[in-house]
Amino acid sequence: MGFGALGTGHSHPTLVRQFRNSLSKGVLYGFEAEASVELAKLVTSRFGYDMVRFSTTGAEATMHAVRLARAHTGRKKLLKFEGCYHGSHDSLLVSVKPTKEKAGDNKVPNQVPASKGVPSELVSDTIVAPFNDLEACESLVRKHRDEIAAIILEPIPMNMGFVLPEKGFLEGLRGLANESNCLLFFDEIKTCGKFYRGAADRFRVKPDLCTMGKAIAGGFPLSVIASSRKIMETIVPGQVSHAGTFNSNPLSVRAAIITLRDILTESGFHTAMKLGEQLAKGYGDIARDEKLDTQLQSIGLSGTIHFSQQPVRDWRSFLKTDTATWFLFYLSMLNRAIIPTGTGPDEQWTLSVQHTESEVNQAVETFKSIAGTLREVMEEMPLVEAL
């Protein structure tokens, strides 16, 4: 499912049928056209923001949004969460997958560059916090309260499996952002396609700034920056840049209109989410019956299986999961014609609106056929932790 980008499924017939006409009208204009306004109205109405700007990839959206946050607040530091990925640009390519040896203190994680070539100045401007630890976040924000432009996070981190925010955590971050006059920035590049109105609506916590992408255009490259009018009007040509030849390109814009209006509908989400719940329950029942040490973490269209005795609530607990057994699970499912999840124990499954109950049942039955072998391996082999 394209690492979460294909909530529509592959080549949805409605998208294929309606999209053909778009090709004859041009593939690139170099400026925004009427369809961009139509899409903007769809997005703002559905997700509850005043204004939007369109880019192409998720990395572009978060990169531009970081610049916007810094320009709007007049501050330069960012607070992000250990283990979270927000695109491959330098400002946020910090502590994405730090090893245990480099990660440092649990409460005050080290700022670990995720790639060579990232300037040390940008690394030092990116404060790293543990996810689901509000006390640690409070300490870090108050220490840097006049320096932080934005607190950025995925409401459900998906670079360490599928980690749900604990009760009060998102609300606590909302309060911290208010207290320190910085922006709360939700990176919903993935989660905008997991719930009909996104994770902000699902968890009832409204950020100041939001980026969306992936599933929103049915597999075509399109991303969104969304916020209030006051914040979005910080973008002014010649002052705060949001440039890109392929911004609002007509093919992706048309694909997004068709996707949001006709495919990823509220009823479509409802059906797909029911199947997601059925899949998770099926996996969970089998794991319990076979006495497998697993953590099923899921909600709606997505989830993951961690081979662990403890829930995964942050990057450090993800590092303690049994990755050898996970890969045995993954390869065993593949060999029986089921792709159970994205490649890697840090990924998750995605149900699409084209999936059927019979396909979910097939996945569950396949897992049942290998569960006994997985238990035997877990009993005989030493734990192989992540990284």
The one catalytic residue in 49, 85, 196, 330 is: 85
Judged on CB neighbours under 10 Å (0-12, 13-18, 19+), 269 is buried
Torsion-angle region of 306 (φ positive above 0: left; ψ -120 to 50: alpha; else: beta): beta
Question: Any catalytic annotation for residue 187?
Answer: yes
Can you tell me which residue has the tokens 């006709």? 262
**Max Cα–Cα distance, the chain, nearest Å:** 64
Residue 103 amino acid letter: A
Residue 374 amino acid letter: L
Q: Taking CA 112 as the corner, what is the angle to CA 111 and CA 114, rounded to the nearest 5 degrees? A: 135
Centre a 10 Å sphere on the Cβ of residue 35 and count the other Cβ atoms it contains.
17
Question: Any catalytic annotation for residue 283?
Answer: no
Pure H helices in 74-168: 100-103, 120-124, 134-143
The one catalytic residue in 90, 187, 322, 346 is: 187
Question: Any catalytic annotation for residue 76?
Answer: no
Handedness of CA 192, 351, 348, 168 (dihedral sign): positive
Q: How far apart are CA 173 and CA 175, in angstroms?
A: 5
Smallest CA-to-CA distance from 153 within 74, 83, 49, 76 is with 83
The one catalytic residue in 80, 97, 194, 214 is: 214
CA 299, chain centre distance (Å): 13
> Residue 150, SS3?
strand
Judged on CB neighbours under 10 Å (0-12, 13-18, 19+), 376 is exposed
Pure H helices in the chain: 13-23, 34-47, 58-73, 100-103, 120-124, 134-143, 169-180, 198-203, 229-232, 250-258, 266-289, 315-318, 323-334, 357-380
Q: Identify any residues that bridge with 303 across adjacent strands, giving them in sequence order.
A: 298, 349
Question: Are 91 and 78 spatial neighbours (Cβ–Cβ below 8 Å)?
Answer: yes
Residues near 29 by beta carbon (within 8 Å), at least 6 away in sequence: 249, 250
> Which are the catalytic amino acids?
85, 187, 214
